[in-house]
């Protein structure tokens, strides 16, 4: 029997056959993907991601991509000789920084992803939360416990927003028109201000508003790990809450997990935290039995 790429024809048939129930089940479903981390900078991973998204669209799913770009913003600010500071995981954003954030996310990063997907045969359209009134935002209140004061101290992080409401018509129109929406996490405030919003938060809320089948967060870690470092592959909401209370889920993973919990509580069928450093992570998670990373069930 001939062997190509280490697979026999029987292996190949088996793999394609394994994908069939997933293709059938998710046909017509919306899958919101937060694209960030290594998968957004490594050339090989970028190409694989783009191919996975195009494949999802061609078999009848509606992938909607929300992208990050924190490191890219940081690099540009550094090249401009500007300092940047994070408080509680949020970039302190004054008016000048906001201009750079909008330029990098809405301009450079967004168009690079559009171009990447289109080169692989997709029909991507780049948007920010300003387009079609997609994301209305309000100022995010950040508080910090202070040992001296009775009440938590309120910290002004500038033009950092949280999602107030999503007006998804523009995304739905693109989905039905066979386009793939690529969204930069920028919102508009009540007085027309431009707000910088954490990309995970935007992806989570958008998944709820679109009644998505899945929310997938591409990260640079294998998923949620137990205290022995083993990957937890499938969890329900009660188990996740247990791991938060006993400190197993902590640090930078907490806001991502909270965003997944909000999404599933808001009607998304499942939320996935997957390892974007694995080649074709998205393909493996959506189309195979094994998946990669942690699945949180609704």
Please report whether residue 117 would count as binding ligand X2W according to CB under 6 A: no
- Is residue 101 at the binding interface for ligand X2W, with CB under 6 A as the rule? yes
Q: Which range of residues in 167-175, 193-201, 204-212, 250-258 is near ligand X2W by CB under 6 A?
A: 193-201
Taking the chain, what is the end-to-end CA distance rounded to the nearest angstrom? 44
Residue 109 touching ligand X2W (CB under 6 A): no
Q: Under 8 Å CB-to-CB from 72, ≥6 apart: which residues? A: 104, 105, 108, 109
How many chain residues interact with ligand X2W (CB under 6 A)? 14
Nearer to ligand X2W by Cβ, of 71 and 121: the residue is 71
**Quick one: which of 199, 216, 221, 282 contacts ligand X2W (CB under 6 A)?**
199
| 198 touches ligand X2W (CB under 6 A) | yes
DSSP 168: T
Q: Interface with ligand X2W includes 62 (CB under 6 A)?
A: no
Binding segment toward ligand X2W, per CB under 6 A, in 1-9, 194-202, 220-228, 276-284: 194-202
Asked if 159 is part of the footprint of ligand X2W (rule: CB under 6 A), the reply reads no
Q: Does 106 bind ligand X2W (CB under 6 A)?
A: no
Applying CB under 6 A, does 113 fall inside the site for ligand X2W?
no
CA pseudo-torsion sign 212, 218, 222, 225: negative
Which residue(s) pair with 86 in the sheet? 91
Contacts within 8 Å (CB) and 24+ apart, 289-295:
289/18, 291/233, 292/222, 292/223, 293/219, 293/222, 293/223, 293/231, 293/233, 294/223, 294/224, 294/231, 294/232, 294/233, 294/234, 294/235, 295/233, 295/234, 295/235, 295/270, 295/271
Q: Does 257 bind ligand X2W (CB under 6 A)?
A: no
Region from 191-199, 232-240, 246-254, 270-278 binding ligand X2W, contact rule CB under 6 A: 191-199
Q: CA-to-CA distance for 79 and 82, rounded, in angstroms?
A: 8
- What are the tokens at 36? 């960030």
Closer by beta carbon to ligand X2W, 214 or else 256:
256
**Number of Cβ within a 10 Å radius of residue 169:** 11
Check residue 187 for interaction with ligand X2W (CB under 6 A). Answer: no
Out of 63, 129, 181, 185, the only residue in the binding site for ligand X2W (CB under 6 A) is 185
Residues in contact with ligand X2W by CB under 6 A are 36, 68-70, 73, 90-91, 101, 160, 185, 196-199
């Amino acid at each position: 029997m001939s062997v190509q790429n280490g697979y026999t024809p029987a292996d190949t048939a088996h793999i394609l056959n394994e994908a069939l129930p997933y293709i059938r089940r998710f046909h017509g479903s919306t899958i919101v993907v937060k694209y960030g981390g290594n998968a957004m900078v490594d050339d090989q991973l970028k190409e694989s991601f783009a191919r996975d998204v195009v494949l999802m669209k061609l078999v009848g799913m509606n992938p909607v991509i929300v992208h990050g770009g924190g490191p890219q913003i940081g690099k540009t600010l550094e090249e401009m000789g500007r300092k940047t500071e994070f408080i509680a995981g949020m970039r302190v954003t004054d008016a000048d920084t906001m201009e750079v954030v909008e330029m990098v996310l809405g301009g450079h990063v967004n168009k690079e992803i559009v171009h990447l997907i289109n080169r692989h045969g997709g029909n991507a359209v780049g948007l920010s939360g300003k387009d079609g009134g997609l994301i209305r935002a309000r100022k995010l209140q950040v508080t910090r416990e202070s040992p001296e004061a009775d009440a938590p101290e309120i910290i002004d992080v500038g033009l950092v927003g949280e999602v107030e409401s999503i007006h998804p018509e523009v995304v739905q129109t693109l989905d039905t028109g066979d386009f793939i929406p690529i969204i930069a996490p920028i919102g508009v405030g009540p007085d027309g201000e431009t707000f910088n919003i954490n990309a995970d938060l935007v992806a989570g809320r958008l998944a709820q508003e679109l009644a998505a089948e899945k929310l997938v967060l591409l990260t640079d870690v294998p998923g949620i790990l137990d205290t022995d470092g083993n990957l937890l592959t499938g969890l329900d909401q009660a188990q996740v809450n247990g791991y938060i209370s006993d400190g197993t889920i902590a640090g930078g993973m907490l806001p991502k997990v909270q965003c997944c919990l909000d999404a599933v509580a808001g009607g998304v069928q499942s939320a996935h935290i997957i390892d974007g450093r694995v080649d074709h992570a998205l393909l493996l998670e959506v189309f195979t039995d094994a998946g990669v990373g942690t699945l949180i069930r609704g």
